[in-house]
Structure 1
Amino acid sequence: MNTRLLVDSACDLPEDLIAKYDIEVLPFVINVDKESFLDGEEITTSEVFAAMEENREISTDQVKPGLIMESFKKQLEDGFNVLYLAFSGKLSGTYQTASMVAEEMMKEYPEMNIDVVDTKSGSVATGILAQKTAALLEKGRKRKHVLNKLQNWIDRIEHIFVLDDLEALRKGGRIGRAKSMVGNFLKVKPLLALKDGEIILESKVRGSARALQGMINFFQKKCDSVSGKSVGISHANDRSRAEKLKENLEEMGADIFCVEMINSVLGVHLGQGGVGLFFLGDDS
């Protein structure tokens, strides 16, 4: 029996790969003043940043439970099992909501499978996980094999990113153990990572150039060899810095998976100005 792969809009997977593997994207909700929009469908990241510059009231809501149920039901009725790769459960309640929806729906469709997986990731990191999972499904690999491989990748997926301002993270309450870094940095750049799905402070550097080098150093520390290693890059309206990071990594022999603008929901919580690097670290 075939499996349909679902992700949510906190996954920055290039559109061509979404189309290639027929992946369904469940949108988060972006609230601007008193109006709500579906992330990636009714509002873009650029529009979110423009609203932030206008000091409009902006917030996010998780993927609507009704939309999750509707999507799951359609896949099951079409004869597909469901595999949903959810945004980090420590940064959003969507994983928990989807898990509860799946539990209820399995009572109605006991012969089918719905697997809701906490990727403990976001942005291009989730995109990498989705692409690798989709490739296995396309090859017809069995469910247990796919889930085992996926868990191994989740354990190894790495995030390292730098932001120009942590105010948006502070307001959203998603800064975890990096809370002490909020304030006036005087050109000090905090390098942030995700550990077990939570944002943490990795290190501090002074200046943008050293921040990029710090990201590269983190990459090298996590991999025995960077040559041929697939990496993804995302940016928060900072394409020039993302391209500079791309050039540096290509000179080292890395294979660029993609360079993507972050999605709207992450734009709300990360703010403008920043770049991230995502890759699978080597087995420890």
Structure 2
Amino acid sequence: MNIKIIADSGCDLPLSFIQEKQIAFLPLAVHINDKDYDDQLTIQPKQVYDAMRAGDVPKTSQAKPAQMEELFTTLAKENIPAIYIAFSSALSGTYQTAVMIKNDVLERYPDAKLTVIDSKCASLGLGLVVKKAVELAESGIAYEDVVTTIETYCRHMEHIFTVDDLQYLARGGRVSKTAAFVGGVLNIKPLLHVEDGKLIPIEKVRGRKKVLKRMVEIMRERGADVQNQLIGISHGDDEQTALELKAMIEETFGCKQFFISEVGGVIGAHAGPGTIALFFLNKQLGH
């Protein structure tokens, strides 16, 4: 069975990987200076970060419903089973829109196999789930088994991340301007995670080195069999720090499999340059 995997740009997978694996791609939108861009297609992450450094405040919006409707209809018409693993519903309206469009398409094509999964994941946490889905689809296992396995992966994907400058989260209303100012003065770096699809602060750490060390400690506390996992690291135009975190994880756990990518324009528009995020499974699920 030839299963088509669908992903949106909230997954932060490189476009080269998306194209190589023939993943159907739905870009979310980035708005800068009254111009609209398709994330990863007509604007690259570095352009977003450079605009933010220059003082611009990018806005974002969900994937285009018309594009989604066209994709779902084409797959249904051609009788191609499809699974869309969507960006967390707590962070974007894309999942809810996809469910409405899917239901409409299934009314017209009741025999179509089309599943929309709320990943409750973001950035490369979602990317690792999408990557796993592609591997499962390529292996030829049953459609229902792909869906079940992916839903389990979504539930057990840990997201641990920090931002370099609280001012960016403050601009988007994620933290108060006072907290951002104090954080900047004291060099305080917030650690956050994703819980039920939402961004939740865990603690505050003073200094960049200490925050990376704490991320590794949390990985030890929460991870399962991490040395045999594919570990995801994403960064906001800061590859050097991502590689530093990778080296710390290699030294601590002996991990050998890593996937490193840049935080895309949509997520980066809120988190800002200098974001560092770590992704791993908190339960041994097979590899």
Structure 2 length as normaliser, TM-score? Answer: 0.92
8 Å contact 1:17–1:131 — kept in the other structure? Answer: no
Residue 275 of structure 1 corresponds to which residue in structure 2?
276
Does the 8 A contact of 1:88 with 1:197 survive in 2?
Answer: yes
Q: CA RMSD in A?
A: 2.0
Q: Distance in 2 between matches of 1:149 and 1:254?
A: 23
Structure 2: state its 5+ residue gaps.
none
TM-superposed CA distance for 1:126, in Å, is 0.7
Q: Alpha carbons of 1:138 and 1:59: their partners in 2 closer, same or farther (altered >3 Å)?
A: same
1:149 and 1:8 map into 2 onto residues whose CA distance is 19
> Counterpart amino acid of 2:208?
S
Deviates more, 1:82-91 or 1:8-17: 8-17
Structure 1 letter corresponding to 2:60? T
C-alpha separation in 1, matches of 2:56 and 2:180: 22
> In structure 1, what residue type is equivalent to 2:260?
V
Is there any run of 5+ residues in structure 1 with no aligned partner, and where? none
What is the match of residue 221 of structure 2?
221
CA contact (8 A) 1:91 1:174 kept: no
Q: Does 1:163 align with 2:181?
A: no
Report the number of matched residues: 282
Aligned residues of 2:89 and 2:197 also touching (Cα < 8 A): yes
How far has the Cα of 1:114 moved from its partner?
Answer: 1.4
Identity %: 34
CA distance in 2, matches of 1:201, 1:215: 13
Distance 2:201 2:188 in 1: 13
What does 1:79-158 correspond to in 2, within 5 Å? 79-158=79-158
What is the DSSP-based 3-state SS (H/G/I as helix, E as strand, rest coil) of the residue aligned with 1:137? helix
CA distance in 1, matches of 2:121, 2:174: 13
1:181–1:190 contact (8 Å) kept in structure 2: no
Contact 1:250 1:256 in 2 (8 A): no
Deviates most, 80-89 or 226-235: 226-235
Q: Where does residue 41 of structure 1 map in the other structure?
A: 41
C-alpha deviation, 1:179, in angstroms: 10
Q: Go from structure 1 to structure 2 and tell me whether the alpha carbon gap of 1:114 and 1:181 turns closer, same or farther (over 3 Å shift).
A: farther
* Contact 1:246–1:256, Cα closer than 8 Å, also in 2: no
Larger CA deviation: 202-211 vs 53-62: 53-62
1:266 and 2:267 are equivalent in the alignment: yes
**Runs of 4+ residues deviating >3 angstroms:** 14-17, 178-183
1:188, 1:261 → 2: CA distance? 23
Secondary structure (helix, strand or coil) at the match of 1:13 reads coil
Secondary structure of the structure 2 residue equivalent to 1:227: helix
Question: Offset of 1:19 from its aligned partner?
Answer: 3.3
